[in-house]
Structure 1
Amino acid sequence: MPFWLFVGLFSLALALFFTHPWLMRYEINQAKADSLQRLGAYKTSLLATIDRHLYLPRVLASDPRIVNSLGSLEEGEAPSPGGFPTSRLLEQINRKAGSDEIFLMDPDGTTHYSSNYTTEDSFVGMNYGFRPYFRDALAGAPGFYFAVGATSGIPGLFLSAPVYAESGKTQGVIVVKIDLRKLEQSWKASGDAVWVTDKRGIIFLASSAKWHYTTLQPLSDEVKSELAETRQYGNGPITPLKRVTEWQSDDWSTLDLNADGPQLVFGSSIPGYPWQMHHRMPLAEVQTQVQWKQSMTVLLYAGLAVGSLFYRERRRRTHAQNALARLTAERESHQRAIIQNTDVGLLNLDDRFRPLYLNERARRLFRLGSDDTFSDPSELIQPWHPEEAGNGSSRAEGVSSDGNRFPILYTLNPIRVGEHNEFILTVQDVTELTAAQQALQEANRVLEHRVQERTRDLEEAQAELAQNQKLAALGRMSAAIAHEINQPITALSNFVASSQMLLARNKIESVNENFLKIEGLVARLSKLSRQLRIFSGKRNTGSAFVSLQAPVHYALELLGQRLASEQVECHQSLPCDYQVRANAMVLEQIIVNLLTNAVDALDGQADARIDIRLIELETSPGKVSLSIEDNGPGMGDEQLSHVFEPFFTTKPMGKGLGLGLAISYSLACDIGAELTVSSRPGKGTCFSLILPIASAEKRENHS
C-alpha cells in the first residue's frame, strides 16, 4: 500500500474519531432548535385552552347567586338535596363554558353545590380541603393546580377563586375543572412525542398515556409524602425514568425508555406557569444523521465533485430561504391591503382593550382623523360588553367623533399573538338594514290591517249569503207547499160546483161519488198537514238502549202484506243484534219510511228485490250500518243532490208528497245517527243508517 494512501486513510480515521462527539452535539442542537419550534405551537394550544377558562372562577365568585347560596349556609339554612337550584345553575354554566366540572365549597372544604350533582360520581358532600387549590383560594390567591380527581379519578386542571361575602369575609371557594385529555389526543394525532412536567419533573400530560405520572428525576421523601397527602396524581407510585450516562447536558436529557430505546428530551418553560413542555426524539435518529455526515466527509475525500454538490445545495437552501422571506413579506403586505380595503371596521386591541391598530374603514365609520385615537372602546360603542368576547355578534350604537349615533353590529374575538393576548373587534354599520327592517315591519302592519278588513268584509258577505240562502230555501218550500195544497183545493172547488149541478138535476149517486172524492182530497190535505207538523215540530227524542233487529222486524211485519201483494222479494242479513242508544219509535219510523220508499221505487219492476244488511263498519270502529238496498231504476247525480229536500220526489203526480226522506233525515239527526244514500241509474238505490254501538260498560252504567 502506498505511504500517502496509508497517511490519508489514517488521517481520515483520526478526523472521524475526533469529529464524532462534535457532530453529535451539533445534530443534537439542531434537533433542539427544531423541537423548540414545535413546542412553541404546542404551548400556544395549551395556553389557549387554559386561558379560555382562566377568567371563569373570578367571574363566578362575584355572581350574587353563588355568593347568596353560601351566605344561606352560614345563616344555618340546610341546602336542598343536590343543592337545587345552585347546582343546576353550575351545570348550565359548565355546559356553556365547555369546562369539565364546576363546584362550590364552604370554608371547611365540603362541597355543597356541583355541576355533576345528578351523576353517580357527584362531588356534593365530598371534602377537598386537602387540595392546594382550595387552600390557596381560601388564603385569597387564585388557585391553579393539576391533579387526578379524588372522586371521579379523571385528571384535570383545577382553577379556583375565593368567594367573598359583602363584609369581605371569605365564605367559600369556587372551583372550575378543565379536562385536558382532548388536547393530549390532538398531540397524539400529530405524531410528535410531547410531555408536560410540573416543577418536580413529574409527567402529567403526554401524547402517550403510558408515560403519565412518571418522573424525569428521582423524588425526595418530602415530595413523596406531599404527593401521598394531596393525592395529586392518585394513589399509584411515581416511577422515575432511567437516565443514560452519556449525551447529557443542561439543555437536554437522554433517557432509556426500554422498548423505545434511548431518547433525547428537550424542554421549554411555559411562561406564567410552573410547568415545562418537552419534546423527545430517538437518539438513533441523531446518530443516523451523524453517520450520514461522516459518510459525507468520507465522500468529500473522494473528490471535489461532492464538495461542489454540497456547496450548491447550501446555496439553493439560502436562495429558498430568501424567496420564502420575500414571499412572507409580500403575503403580509397583501393581507394588510385586504384589511385596509374590507367593508367592515377592524380594530386590534390589547389585553386591556386599548387600541393597537385601526383600519381605514373603522376611521371613516367613527370619523376619526389619522392622528385621532381613543383610550377605551366604550367611547365608540354603547353599550360596550367586553365580557361577551367570543360569543358572537352584538347589536349596539356607534358614536362618531362628532357625536352622531348610528346602529352597528360588533364582534369581539380573543386571539393569541406569541405570548400575549389580544382582541380583534369588527364593526359593521347596519343603518340601511335597520331602516329596511322597520319598513318591512310597517308593511307587515299595513298588510295585517288590510287582511283584517278583508276578513270582516268576507264574514259580512258570508252572513248575507247565508241569509239569502235561508230566504231562497223558504221560498222554494213555500212554493212547493202552495203547489201541493193548490191542486187539492182546485179539485175541491170543481167537485163542489159539479155536486151543486148534479143536485139540481137530482143525480144523487153522482153526488155521492163526488163526496167520496172530496173525502179523499181532504184526507190528502190532512196527511200533508200532519207530515209538515212532524217535519217542523219538536219531536220526542228521549232515548234508551234498543236493538236494531226489532225495528227491522216491526217494519217488515207492518209492510208484509204490501210486499207480498206487489211480489217484492226481501232478503235479510242480520248476523248480530247490535244495541244502540236511540228512540225506539223514531227508529221504527225511519226504517218504515226507508222500506216504504224502496217498495215505491220497485213499482212495476220485474224481479223486485230488497236487501237489508246490518254490518259493523271496519273504517269507523264502534259504529254499525243498517242498509236498505233495492234493485230499482236508481237515480242520477242531480236527483241525489236533492233527495233529502222537502217536497222533492221522483214518483208520479199524486203518488207521494216528497216529505218521507226529508222527515227520515231530520229524525236521524235527532237521534245522533247519519243517513246516507248511494245510487246508480239502472242498478238501484241504497240508503244506509249509521249509528254508534252502545258498549257493555255504557249499558251497565245506564242500568
Structure 2
Amino acid sequence: MLAVMLGLDRIADFAARRWALAQVEAGARTAAALRVAVLRSEIEKQRSLPFALAQDPDVRRALASQDAGLFLALDQRFEALVARVRAGVIYLIDTGGHTVAASNFNTPESFLNSDYGFRPYFRIALAEGRAEHFAFGTVSRKPGLYLAQRVEDAAGEPLGVLVLKAEFDTLEEEWRHFSEPTFVTDARHIVLIASEPAFRFRTTVPLDAGERKVIRESLQFGDAPLDLIDLSPVPGDPGLKRVRLPGRSKREDFLEASMPVPTTDWTLSVLAPTAATTALAATAARASAALLGVVGLGSAGLWRTRRRRRARAEARQAEARRELEERVAVRTAELSAANAQLRTEMEERRRARLAIDALQDELVQANKLAVLGQIAAGVAHEVNQPVAAIRTFAENSRAFLDRGDAGSAARNLDTIAALTERIGAITGELRAFARKSAAQLEPVRIGAVVDGALLLLRYRLLQNDIALAVVLDAPDARVTGDRVRLEQVFVNLVQNAAEALAGRPGATIRITSETRADTVVVTVADNGPGLSPQVLGALFLPFTTTKPQGLGLGLVISKDIIAECGGSLAVESRAGAVFTITLPRAS
C-alpha cells in the first residue's frame, strides 16, 4: 500500500509539473507576441515623421539659407511636434555635423550647436539617405532609437540630416506592471529596452575584448559596463528554456520565450515565472492522487473483507443459494461503478465545455490583436492623410481671414469638419474592432460588416496595388450575427487573399453577395495561385497554414465565429481561392 501511494504521488507530481510548464510556455509566447506587436507599432509610428519633415520646404529653406530666424521657427515647430507625437527630441544637423535646430532649444539639455558628426547615424544618413541607431544620449543621458533622414535640395544635393529620437520610457513602465520580466536585445545580445532597470546595457552572451573596445570608443552606450546578465540555466526538459535570475531565490525559476521584432534586428524576450503555477498544479494533482489511492486501497480492503464473510456464509448454504448471492453482488458492484463513472464523465464534459468556451473567446481576442498589429501601419497612413489636409486648410483659412475673405475661410472650415468625421470613422472602427466582448447575436447589415472590415484594410490593398471589387446585391440585407466578430472574419479572409496576391500583376479581390429567402451568401475570391488539394483537405484544422510566419488559427477561429451565428464557411480552389460564407437572414 505504501509503495502504491508513493508511486501515485510521484507520477501525479511529474505529470502536473509538465502540464503546468506547458501552460506557462504558451502564456509566455502569447505575451511575447503581443508585446512585439506593441513595440513594432511604436517604432513604425515614429519612422514616418523624419521622412515627412525631410521633405518640408521650410526645413530645406532654413538649411539652404542658414537664416537664424528660420531656425528659430523650426525650433518652435519641433517643440510642438514632440509634444504631439510623444517623441524624445527632434533636431536638425547641417552637413558639418552641428545642430542648427532642436525641439529642446529652451531646456538645459539643448542640442543646439552640439557636434554630432561622430555619431554613426549622422554619417550613414548623410551617405545613404537614412539610418537607425540605438544609443545612449551624450547630452540627455537617456537611451533611445535615433531615426535619421537626409535632407536634400531640389538637385538632390545633401543639405543636412533630420533626426528623431524615440524613447521607450513609457513602454518600459507599462511592462513593469506585469509579473514577467521583459527585455529587448540587439544582434550583439546587448539589452536595449527592459522592464528591469538593472538589465539595461548588459549582455546575455559574453562580448569579446575587441568588440567591447569598439563599442566603448563609439560612445554608443556611454560608460555602461556591458557585463553579462547571469541567466543560469535550469536542468530539466530540453525542449523548454528555463533560467534563474541573479539575486532571486534558487527555488524561483523562469521560462524564457523569445520572438524577433519585425523590421529590426532586435529580439524580445519574456521571462515567465513558473514557481506558483507548477506548485499549485503539483499540489492539486498530488491531493487528487492521494484521494484516489485511499479510496482505491480502502475499496480493495473492504472487498476482501466482504469476500471472506461471503465465503463462510456460502459454506453453510446450498450450492444454488451461494451462486445466486454471488451473481447479485457482482452485478450490483458493476452497476454502481458504471453509475459513478457516468456521473464523473458528465461533470468532466461540463467543465471541459466551459473551458473550451473561455479559450475560444481568448483565441478570438488574440487573433484580433495580432491582426491589429499587421494593419496598424496602414491605419496610421490612412489617418495621416486627412491630418495633413486639415493642417493645410487651417493655414489657408488663416490667410483668408487675414485678407477678410470670410466666405473662403468658412468653406475651408466645412472641409476640415468633413475630414475630422473621416478620422473619427477610422479610429472608431479600430476601437470597436479591438474591444473584447462576448458574442451578441443580433440583426446586422451585411453591407456595414463589409464596409467596416475594408475601412481597416483599404490602405494596405492600395499600398500593394491590389484591386478591390465589391458587388453586394442587397447591402441593406440583415443577417443574424455579432458585427465585430463578423468583421474579424472578413479581415482574416481579405488579409489572407492580399498575402496570396503579393507581387502578382493584375491582383484582384472580389467580394459578392447573393440574398436568398432564408440566407445571405457572401463570397470572397482572389485571382491568386489557389490552394493545393493537400492544403484544402486540412485548411480548417488548427495549425494548418501556407504562410511562413502564420500560426494556422485564423481560419479555424473564423469558421467557429460563423458557426456561432448559425452559418457555414466553405472554400474552393478555382482560378484562385474562393471562400463562401452562408449566414441566416434576420427576421
TM-score if structure 1 supplies the norm length?
Answer: 0.44
Letter in 2 for 1:257: P
Aligned to 1:49: 42
Bigger mean CA offset, 243-252 vs 201-210: 243-252
Q: How far, CA to CA, are the matches of 1:329 and 1:153 in structure 2?
A: 42
Which of the residues 117, 120, 124 maps onto 1:136? 124
Letter in 1 for 2:422: T
1:97 aligns with 2:85: yes
- Contact kept, 8 Å, 2:179 with 2:272, in 1: the verdict is no
Shift of 1:111: 1.7
Which of the residues 233, 258, 261 maps onto 2:247? 258
Q: CA separation of 1:385/1:117 partners in 2, compared to 1, >3 Å: closer, same or farther?
A: closer
Q: How far, CA to CA, are the matches of 1:283 and 1:325 in structure 2?
A: 21
Q: Deviations over 1:302-349 (max 9, x none)?
A: 447999998666533431245458879999xxxxxxxxxxxxxxxxx9
Q: CA separation of 1:141/1:83 partners in 2, compared to 1, >3 Å: closer, same or farther?
A: closer
Q: How far, CA to CA, are the matches of 1:65 and 1:231 in structure 2?
A: 32
The share of aligned pairs that are identical, in percent, is 23
- Contact kept, 8 Å, 2:40 with 2:262, in 1: the verdict is no
SS in structure 2 of the partner of residue 57 of structure 1: helix
Which of the residues 269, 276, 285 maps onto 1:278? 269
Letter in 2 for 1:273: T
Letter in 2 for 1:44: A
User: Which residues of 2 match residues 232-251 of structure 1 at below 5 A?
Assistant: 232-242=220-230, 243-247=232-236, 249=238
SS in structure 2 of the partner of residue 259 of structure 1: coil
Q: Which runs of 5+ in 2 are unaligned?
A: 297-336, 366-374, 395-414, 435-452, 459-587
Q: Deviations over 1:349-370 (max 9, x none)?
A: 996689xxxxxxxxxxxxxxxx
Q: How far, CA to CA, are the matches of 1:139 and 1:209 in structure 2?
A: 35
User: Which residues of 2 match residues 279-294 of structure 1 at below 5 A?
Assistant: 279-289=270-280, 291-292=282-283, 293-294=285-286
Q: Deviations over 1:484-535 (max 9, x none)?
A: xxxxxxxxxxxxxxxxxxxxxxxxxxxxxxxxxxxxxxxxxxxxxxxxxxxx
Q: How far, CA to CA, are the matches of 1:257 and 1:86 in structure 2?
A: 48
Aligned to 2:30: 37
Shift of 1:215: 2.2
Q: Rg: which structure is higher?
A: 1
Structure with the larger RCO, 1 or 2 (CA within 8 Å, 6+ apart): 2
1:301 aligns with 2:293: yes
- Contact kept, 8 Å, 2:240 with 2:255, in 1: the verdict is no
User: Which residues of 2 match residues 67-146 of structure 1 at below 5 A?
Assistant: 67-73=60-66, 80=68, 83-146=71-134
Which of the residues 226, 235, 246 maps onto 2:214? 226
Aligned to 2:20: 27
- Contact kept, 8 Å, 1:350 with 1:421, in 2: the verdict is no
1:173 aligns with 2:155: no
Q: How far, CA to CA, are the matches of 2:388 and 2:346 in structure 1?
A: 52
Q: Deviations over 1:54-113 (max 9, x none)?
A: 21000001011111222235xxxxx63994233233223323333221011123432222
Letter in 1 for 2:354: A
TM-score if structure 2 supplies the norm length?
Answer: 0.52
Shift of 1:160: 1.5
- Contact kept, 8 Å, 2:62 with 2:70, in 1: the verdict is no
Q: Deviations over 1:413-468 (max 9, x none)?
A: 465989x997489xxxxxxxxxxxxxxxxxxxxxxxxxxxxxxxxxxxxxxxxxxx
- Contact kept, 8 Å, 2:24 with 2:255, in 1: the verdict is no
User: Which residues of 2 match residues 308-457 of structure 1 at below 5 A?
Assistant: 314-324=348-358, 386=385, 388=387, 408=418, 410-412=421-423, 413=426, 415=430, 423=456
Q: CA separation of 1:220/1:188 partners in 2, compared to 1, >3 Å: closer, same or farther?
A: same
Q: Which has the higher helix share?
A: 2
Which of the residues 194, 200, 218 maps onto 1:212? 200
Q: CA separation of 1:30/1:93 partners in 2, compared to 1, >3 Å: closer, same or farther?
A: same
- Contact kept, 8 Å, 2:134 with 2:146, in 1: the verdict is yes
- Contact kept, 8 Å, 1:270 with 1:276, in 2: the verdict is yes
Q: How far, CA to CA, are the matches of 1:283 and 1:330 in structure 2?
A: 26
Q: How far, CA to CA, are the matches of 1:391 and 1:191 in structure 2?
A: 43
Which of the residues 113, 127, 142 maps onto 1:154? 142
Aligned to 1:653: none
SS in structure 1 of the partner of residue 282 of structure 2: helix
1:8 aligns with 2:39: no
Letter in 2 for 1:279: V
Q: CA separation of 1:236/1:327 partners in 2, compared to 1, >3 Å: closer, same or farther?
A: closer
Q: CA separation of 1:248/1:112 partners in 2, compared to 1, >3 Å: closer, same or farther?
A: farther
Q: How far, CA to CA, are the matches of 2:59 and 2:72 in structure 1?
A: 12
Q: How far, CA to CA, are the matches of 2:293 and 2:274 in structure 1?
A: 27
SS in structure 1 of the partner of residue 422 of structure 2: strand
Letter in 2 for 1:388: V
Q: Deviations over 1:648-703 (max 9, x none)?
A: xxxxxxxxxxxxxxxxxxxxxxxxxxxxxxxxxxxxxxxxxxxxxxxxxxxxxxxx
Q: Which runs of 5+ in 1 are unaligned?
A: 74-78, 332-348, 355-375, 378-383, 396-404, 426-703
